[in-house]
Amino acid sequence: MADYINKQVIELKAVNEENRNGATRSVKTETHLSDGRLRLYRLAAVCFGVLCLLQVTLNISLRLAFYNRGNVTVERDKLQTSYNTLTAERDQLQKERDDLMRNFSNLKQTCPDGWQKFNSSWYFLSTETKTWKESREDCLERGADLVIVNSDMEQQFLLGLNKGAWIGLTDSVTEGTWRWVDDTPLTTPSYWHSQQPDNGGDNPANGEEDCVELNTETWRPAKAWNDQSCLDHRHWICEKVV
């Protein structure tokens, strides 16, 4: 009987020992799982932080890139503007140089026979008379055209030639609209004789008076322009700008 009781006690101790060992393993297992989840959370937090840092870095990089690109565009536009300005100035200087060289070359030339020089032009006064159209054709054949009066000094020079002559002014295209032979309108000082132009006045025999002569026989030489029939014969004055 005593042996039986001892056996039961030993079995009971073994069962209790096994229960204690199982409980210990369970606690260790739960502790191990808890530590694993904690490490996982920490890793996830670190990864999220790294991603946020990368996002911030990317945003800053993009902003810097766009800012720099904008500055480059502004600088490029400034350089293009400067280039265009310098190109225009270069072309203007080239034109002025060419003009100076041409004028210098012309200064070395002497007037052909029958021509007179005044300022930067040569003038030819005919010795015969022709209609206004025929007179202009003669000037064109000489590489010139009927004279265009641009100043008081030029007007006085022409009067000094002491001969009435056709000049390059007409309203043959539109009555009352006076234009020079280079198709520019009459905007320079005009030198019409008193009561001129009158397009023939009231005398039908005069016909249309659409061309202008320089009449040196007037008593007011400074006012020496007179409109005349283009078919009349007059001397003429050619001008060649040199």
Q: What is the CATH number of the domain that holds 217?
A: 3.10.100.10
- Asked if residue 104 and residue 176 are part of one domain, the reply reads no
Query: What integer pLDDT is reported at residue 189 of this predicted model?
Result: 66
- Asked if residue 122 and residue 92 are part of one domain, the reply reads no
- Asked if residue 63 and residue 44 are part of one domain, the reply reads yes
Compute the CA torsion angle 107, 185, 201, 191 (nearest 10 deg): -40
Query: What integer pLDDT is reported at residue 27 of this predicted model?
Result: 47
- Asked if residue 123 and residue 102 are part of one domain, the reply reads no
Distance of alpha carbon 29 from alpha carbon 35, whole angstroms = 10
- Asked if residue 154 and residue 95 are part of one domain, the reply reads no
- Asked if residue 162 and residue 87 are part of one domain, the reply reads no
First-last CA distance in the chain: 156
Residue by residue, pLDDT tens for the chain (242 residues) are 555 555 555 655 554 555 565 555 554 555 555 666 777 777 777 888 888 888 888 888 888 777 777 777 888 888 888 888 888 988 988 888 887 777 666 555 677 888 999 998 999 999 999 999 999 999 999 999 999 999 989 999 998 887 789 999 999 898 889 999 999 999 876 788 877 888 776 666 666 889 999 987 765 567 889 899 999 999 999 999 98
- Asked if residue 218 and residue 156 are part of one domain, the reply reads yes
- Asked if residue 43 and residue 124 are part of one domain, the reply reads no
Query: What integer pLDDT is reported at residue 97 of this predicted model?
Result: 84
Q: 151 and 199 in contact (C-beta within 8 Å)? A: no
- Looking at 76, 108, 140, which one is the last position of a domain? 108
Which residue, 106, 129, 126, is CA-closest to 117? 106
- Asked if residue 121 and residue 232 are part of one domain, the reply reads yes
Q: Is the pTM of this model over 0.75?
A: no
Strands 179-180 and 165-170: antiparallel
Element (H, E) at 171: none
Query: What integer pLDDT is reported at residue 133 of this predicted model?
Result: 97
Residues, the chain:
242
Query: Token pair for residue 210?
Result: 């659409």
Domain count across the chain: 2
- Type of residue found at 139: C
- Looking at 108, 140, 158, which one is the last position of a domain? 108
- Asked if residue 137 and residue 42 are part of one domain, the reply reads no
Which residue, 90, 153, 144, 96, is CA-closest to 122? 144
- Asked if residue 95 and residue 70 are part of one domain, the reply reads yes
- Asked if residue 121 and residue 104 are part of one domain, the reply reads no
- Looking at 64, 93, 108, which one is the last position of a domain? 108
Sign of CA dihedral 153, 157, 159, 165: negative
Distance of alpha carbon 128 from alpha carbon 235, whole angstroms = 6
What domain range includes position 170? 115-241
